[in-house]
Amino acid sequence: DQQVKQNSPSLSVQEGRISILNCDYTNSMFDYFLWYKKYPAEGPTFLISISSIKDKNEDGRFTVFLNKSAKHLSLHIVPSQPGDSAVYFCAATADASGTSYGKLTFGQGTILTVHP
């Protein structure tokens, strides 16, 4: 049972345009969400996160939006750069449960390719 889903295995965008990566979740207990990006032969790198008490969080070119009623979050990258080409993972955790120590539930990832 896949509790976090990234339905688009890949996304291709032109440099300078917006990249939108989507993620859906099913577990109502999830209250903290993170995005990681991964380059080949490296571990995932933390990008940005959002708590369920917010609906938006920005950090430079990266913005994450959370729609709790739809159990949907998205990552916007504006403007996209070739160096952003990587695999992007959405992850979720039930932080308030007090028992989620170290446990993130990951989506399957979306391969983003930004063309010059």
Query: Which residues of this protein are in contact with another protein, per CB under 8 A?
Result: 32, 34, 36, 41-46, 49, 89, 91, 93, 95, 99-109
Place of tokens 């983003």: 112
Q: Please report how close the Cβ of residue 101 comes to another protein at its closest, in angstroms.
A: 4
Which residues partner with 87 through β-bridges? 38, 111
Among residues 41 and 70, whose Cβ is nearest to another protein? 41
**Can you tell me the distance from the alpha carbon of 109 to that of 116, in angstroms, rounded to the nearest whole number?**
22
Q: Which amino acid is at 88?
A: Y
Which residues partner with 58 through β-bridges? 63
Among residues 48 and 79, whose Cβ is nearest to another protein? 48
Among residues 32 and 62, whose Cβ is nearest to another protein? 32
Q: Please report how close the Cβ of residue 80 comes to another protein at its closest, in angstroms.
A: 23
**Can you tell me the distance from the alpha carbon of 8 to that of 107, in angstroms, rounded to the nearest whole number?**
11
Q: Please report how close the Cβ of residue 38 comes to another protein at its closest, in angstroms.
A: 9
In the structure encoding, which two tokens stand for residue 102, read together? 């170290």
